[in-house]
């Protein structure tokens, strides 16, 4: 090392060099430290993004003062002295307030809905499941993932417009970035380069969620043939999003429906067994599905 | 001598910046992690594979899960307003049976992903309640599983609800039980539960 020689030369020069050396070493140590911290904390994310804040709202309700919790999220506040064991259901009931609402979601079209539910159930077991299972066995996972990514990329206009409509400017920008990167480097969306290498992530937005974010309620429950559970609001949203989906502009309708069917079979191939599990666990699959749909939508809207 | 002093000084500076071992993980997450790790360990255990070992495996899983899941609370919350109308004996039977069902659902959910790692995304604690957000990430899908927990008198955290992909398990049963009990007697529900467990 060059420093070793300079020690012997002595004098001020040496001191200067050593000061410099110490400075560099401490700088390196500092940066190593920083990255170590970043790695160590990634698992528990104390640095909370906006997403986390809105997650918090799901849990605690939309109280501004809850934001203070963020700084100390891992420290329980030792206040309530009562033992939870002795507390009655009221202590827990606030978690299920949302569910109370879902129980109340009107189902005026019950007989139609039940018929559609039975039809979709039949369709799943008679057609979709065997098709998707066959497709899954003959298609490599990498290809199926690529196809899923491609269709996801194609829905960029839906996510972009609805982010804008919800005033999520930052997310809309991220969405543009993801689209540009994946369309070019990701070969028309086949690879999710933006998500994997640039760590860009957004959540799926649609018009139903946008309307929900404007405090428009579900209306009532509808089961659409083929598409499955929905609500009045989400059906309106679904119809609106129709115009933002490029697939709907494909000209000969045979090709258009062919593409849609392929998309459905491909995405179902990832979720085989989920519907069966839901049915197996349910006492009343119709209600279980309805409740799961509403809960899932509420969660997405609050994000 | 000067050289040593300077080296020691440099070491001191480095030492100052060495991060303190990560102490940020909260007790609620630590406690949950112990349980999940134990469950995964049993599921992965080669010596417990196979049909003849099924009962043994089930027993050890049950022991671990009962340490952390309060099935009595989950039963009570699922029956909600119908809970109070039941006699103590009925409650006991219901907890026993419904607990078994929940146990099976949880195990079958996690059994599909034994080869995957569970990621602890974040947790929120408020007072005696907490929600721990986890994610099972496989090659093809990401399944968020959140644990709602409460703290008992002796500082132990217990699970009282599972939220899988944004759907609360207790909430889902709550809706179903309420709708069923509006039309049918309680005995019918117990019968259905029995049938479910026999399958």
Nearest chain B residue to A296 by CA distance is: B166
Query: What single DSSP character describes residue A199?
Result: -
User: So what's the pLDDT on residue B25?
Assistant: 65
Distance CA B26, CA B122 (A): 10
Burial class (CB within 10 angstroms; exposed 0-12, middle 13-18, buried 19+) of A301: buried
Q: Which residue has the tokens 């997403």?
A: A51
Distances (CA, A) of A13 to A2, A78, A266: 13, 58, 70
Nearest chain A residue to B168 by CA distance is: A295
3 state SS of B140: coil
State the sign of the Cα–Cα–Cα–Cα dihedral A216, A243, A181, B136: positive
Distance CA B84, CA B139 (A): 45
Of chain B residues 120-159, which have a CB less than 8 A from chain A?
120-131, 133, 139-141, 148, 150-153
pLDDT > 70? residue B16 = no
**Comparing A39-53, A231-245, A247-261, which segment has the lowest mean pLDDT?**
A39-53
User: So what's the pLDDT on residue A29?
Assistant: 54
Instruction: Measure A252 CA to nearest chain B CA, in Å.
Output: 32
Mean pLDDT of A128-134: 95
Of chain B residues 90-109, which have a CB less than 8 A from chain A?
101, 105, 108-109
Instruction: Measure B77 CA to nearest chain A CA, in Å.
Output: 7
B138-156 tens-digit pLDDT: 888 888 999 999 988 888 8
Nearest chain A residue to B195 by CA distance is: A283
Instruction: Measure A42 CA to nearest chain B CA, in Å.
Output: 8
Please name which of B34, B47, B73 lies closest in space to residue B173, comparing C-alpha atoms.
Answer: B73
Burial class (CB within 10 angstroms; exposed 0-12, middle 13-18, buried 19+) of B42: buried
Residue B123: give its domain's CATH number. Answer: 3.10.450.710
pLDDT > 70? residue A38 = no
Distance CA B121, CA A44 (A): 6
Q: Per the domain annotation, does B5 fall within a domain? A: no
- Return the residue in A31, A63, A74 with the most chain B beta carbons within 10 A, the one to mutate for interface testing: A74
User: So what's the pLDDT on residue A79?
Assistant: 37
Instruction: Give per-residue burial for B62-91: e unless 16+ CB within 10 Å, then b.
Output: eebbeebbbbbbbbbbbbbebbeebeeeeb
Distance CA B58, CA B79 (A): 26
Instruction: Measure A265 CA to nearest chain B CA, in Å.
Output: 15
State the sign of the Cα–Cα–Cα–Cα dihedral B181, B184, B187, B189: negative
Q: How confident is the model at residue A30 (pLDDT cuts 50, 70, 90)?
A: low
A75-130 tens-digit pLDDT: 333 333 333 444 455 667 667 765 555 556 888 999 999 999 999 999 999 999 99
- Return the residue in B36, B129, B138, B165 with the most chain A beta carbons within 10 A, the one to mutate for interface testing: B129
Q: Per the domain annotation, does B3 fall within a domain? A: no
Pick from A77, A273, A291: which is nearest to B172 by CB?
A: A291
Contact B148 A84 (CB under 8 A): no
Contact B173 A283 (CB under 8 A): yes
User: So what's the pLDDT on residue A98?
Assistant: 54
A149-199 tens-digit pLDDT: 999 999 999 999 999 999 999 999 999 999 999 999 888 888 888 888 888
Mean pLDDT of A256-278: 92
Q: Per the domain annotation, does B9 fall within a domain? A: no
User: So what's the pLDDT on residue A209?
Assistant: 92
Contact A83 B152 (CB under 8 A): yes
Q: How confident is the model at residue B81 (pLDDT cuts 50, 70, 90)?
A: confident
The set of residues, in sequence order, having a beta carbon less than 8 Å from that of A159 and lying 6+ positions away, is: A175, A202, A204, A205, A206
Q: Per the domain annotation, does B90 fall within a domain? A: yes
Q: How confident is the model at residue B117 (pLDDT cuts 50, 70, 90)?
A: confident
3 state SS of A10: coil
Q: Per the domain annotation, does B130 fall within a domain? A: yes
Nearest chain A residue to B126 by CA distance is: A76
Distances (CA, A) of B135 to A295, B46, B110, B113, B191: 18, 25, 11, 11, 35
Distance CA A27, CA A18 (A): 14
What's the number of domains chain B is made of?
1
3-state SS of chain A: helix, strand, coil percent to 5?
A: 70, 5, 25
Contact B176 A282 (CB under 8 A): yes
Residues spanned by the domain of B125: 26-198
Q: Does B77 touch chain A (CB under 8 A)?
A: yes
pLDDT > 50? residue A252 = yes
Please, which residues bridge with residue B151 across strands?
B157
User: So what's the pLDDT on residue A143?
Assistant: 93
Q: What percent of chain A has pLDDT over 90?
A: 45
User: So what's the pLDDT on residue B53?
Assistant: 79
User: So what's the pLDDT on residue B57?
Assistant: 84
Q: Which chain B residues touch A36 with a CB distance below 8 Å? A: 19
Q: Which chain A residues touch B175 with a CB distance below 8 Å? A: 99, 102-103, 287-288, 290-291
Burial class (CB within 10 angstroms; exposed 0-12, middle 13-18, buried 19+) of B44: exposed
Q: Per the domain annotation, does B6 fall within a domain? A: no
Pick from A21, A76, A288: which is nearest to B176 by CB?
A: A288
Please, which residues bridge with residue B132 across strands?
B123, B147
Largest CA distance in chain B: 91
The distance from CA A199 to its chain's CA centroid, rounded to whole angstroms, is 14
Between A129 and B54, name the one with better pLDDT.
A129
Q: Per the domain annotation, does B17 fall within a domain? A: no
Mean pLDDT of A127-146: 94
Q: Which residue has the tokens 């909370």?
A: A48
3 state SS of B32: helix
ipTM of the prediction: 0.80
B160 neighbors B170 (Cβ within 8 angstroms)? yes
Please, which residues bridge with residue B148 across strands?
B131, B161
pTM of structure: 0.73
| Secondary structure element (H or E) that encloses residue A202, with its range | none
Instruction: Measure A208 CA to nearest chain B CA, in Å.
Output: 17
Between CA B109 and CA B114, with CA B111 as vertex, the angle to 5 degrees is 125
Instruction: Measure A170 CA to nearest chain B CA, in Å.
Output: 22
Query: Which range, A48-62, A68-82, A259-273, has the best average confidence (pLDDT)?
Result: A259-273
Q: How confident is the model at residue B99 (pLDDT cuts 50, 70, 90)?
A: very high
CA quadruple A113, A119, A121, A127: dihedral, nearest 10: -150
Q: How confident is the model at residue A19 (pLDDT cuts 50, 70, 90)?
A: low
Distance CA B163, CA B166 (A): 6
User: So what's the pLDDT on residue A140?
Assistant: 93
Please, which residues bridge with residue A81 across strands?
none
Query: Which range, A4-18, A218-232, B51-65, B118-132, has the best average confidence (pLDDT)?
Result: A218-232
User: So what's the pLDDT on residue A100?
Assistant: 55
Task: Sort residue A215 into left (φ over 0), alpha (ψ -120 to 50) or beta.
Answer: left
User: So what's the pLDDT on residue B15?
Assistant: 64
Q: Per the domain annotation, does B11 fall within a domain? A: no
Between CA A195 and CA A178, with CA B145 as vertex, the angle to 5 degrees is 15
Q: Which chain B residues touch A281 with a CB distance below 8 Å? A: 101, 105
Distance CA B98, CA B72 (A): 9
pLDDT > 70? residue A67 = no
User: So what's the pLDDT on residue B22?
Assistant: 45
3 state SS of A49: coil
User: So what's the pLDDT on residue A256?
Assistant: 92
The set of residues, in sequence order, having a beta carbon less than 8 Å from that of A205 and lying 6+ positions away, is: A158, A159, A162, A163, A166, A168, A171
Neighbours of B173 (CB within 10 A): 26
Distance CA A15, CA A7 (A): 9
Mean pLDDT (chain A, rounded):
76
User: So what's the pLDDT on residue A230?
Assistant: 94
Contact A83 B101 (CB under 8 A): no
Q: Which parts of chain B fold into alpha helices (H)? A: 2-17, 27-44, 54-68, 71-79, 88-111, 169-183, 186-198
pLDDT > 60? residue B21 = no
User: So what's the pLDDT on residue A49?
Assistant: 38
Of chain B residues 31-60, which have a CB less than 8 A from chain A?
none
A201-234 tens-digit pLDDT: 888 899 999 999 898 888 999 999 999 999 999 9
Q: How confident is the model at residue A283 (pLDDT cuts 50, 70, 90)?
A: very high
């Amino acid at each position: 090392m060059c420093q070793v020689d300079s020690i012997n030369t002595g004098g001020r020069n040496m001191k200067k060099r050593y000061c410099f050396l110490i400075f560099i070493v401490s700088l390196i140590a500092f940066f190593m430290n920083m990255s170590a911290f970043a790695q160590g904390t990634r698992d528990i994310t104390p640095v909370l993004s906006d997403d986390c804040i809105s997650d918090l709202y799901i849990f605690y309700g939309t109280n501004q003062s809850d934001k203070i919790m963020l700084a100390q999220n891992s420290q329980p506040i030792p206040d309530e002295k009562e033992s939870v064991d002795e507390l009655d259901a009221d202590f827990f009931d606030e978690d299920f307030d949302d569910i109370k609402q879902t129980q109340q979601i009107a189902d005026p079209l019950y007989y139609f809905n039940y018929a559609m539910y039975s039809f979709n159930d039949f369709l799943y077991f008679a057609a979709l499941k065997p098709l998707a299972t066959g497709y899954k066995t003959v298609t490599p996972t990498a290809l199926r993932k690529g196809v899923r990514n491609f269709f996801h990329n194609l829905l960029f206009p839906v996510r972009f417009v609805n982010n804008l409509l919800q005033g999520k400017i930052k997310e809309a920008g991220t969405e543009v970035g993801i689209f540009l990167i994946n369309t070019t480097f990701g070969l028309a969306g086949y690879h999710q380069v933006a998500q994997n290498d640039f760590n860009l992530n957004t959540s799926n937005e649609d018009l139903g969620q946008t309307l929900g974010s404007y405090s428009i309620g579900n209306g009532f429950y509808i089961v659409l043939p083929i598409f499955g559970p929905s609500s009045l609001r989400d059906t309106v949203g679904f119809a609106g999003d129709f115009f933002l989906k490029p697939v709907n502009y494909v000209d000969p309708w045979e090709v258009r429906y062919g593409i849609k069917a392929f998309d459905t079979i491909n995405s179902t191939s990832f979720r085989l067994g989920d519907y069966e599990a839901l049915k197996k666990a349910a006492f009343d699959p119709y209600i279980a599905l309805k409740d799961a749909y509403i809960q899932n939508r509420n969660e997405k809207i609050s994000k | 001598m000067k050289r040593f002093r300077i080296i020691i000084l440099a070491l001191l500076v480095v030492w100052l910046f060495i991060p303190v071992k990560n102490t940020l993980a909260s007790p609620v997450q630590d406690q949950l992690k112990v349980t999940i790790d134990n469950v995964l360990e049993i599921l992965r255990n080669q010596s417990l594979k196979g049909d003849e070992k099924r009962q043994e495996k089930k027993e050890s899983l049950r022991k671990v899960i009962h340490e952390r899941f309060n099935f009595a609370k989950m039963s009570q919350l699922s029956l909600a307003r119908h809970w109070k109308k039941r006699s103590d004996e009925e409650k006991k039977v219901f907890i026993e049976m419904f607990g078994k069902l929940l146990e099976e659902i949880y195990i079958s959910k996690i059994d599909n992903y034994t080869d995957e790692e569970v990621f602890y995304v974040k947790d929120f604690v408020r007072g005696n309640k907490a929600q721990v957000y986890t994610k099972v990430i496989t090659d093809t899908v990401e399944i968020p599983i959140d644990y709602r927990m409460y703290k008992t008198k002796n500082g132990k955290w217990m699970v009282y609800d599972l939220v899988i992909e944004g759907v609360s398990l207790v909430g889902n049963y709550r809706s179903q039980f309420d709708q069923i009990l509006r039309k049918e007697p309680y005995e019918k529900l117990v019968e259905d539960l029995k049938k479910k467990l026999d399958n």
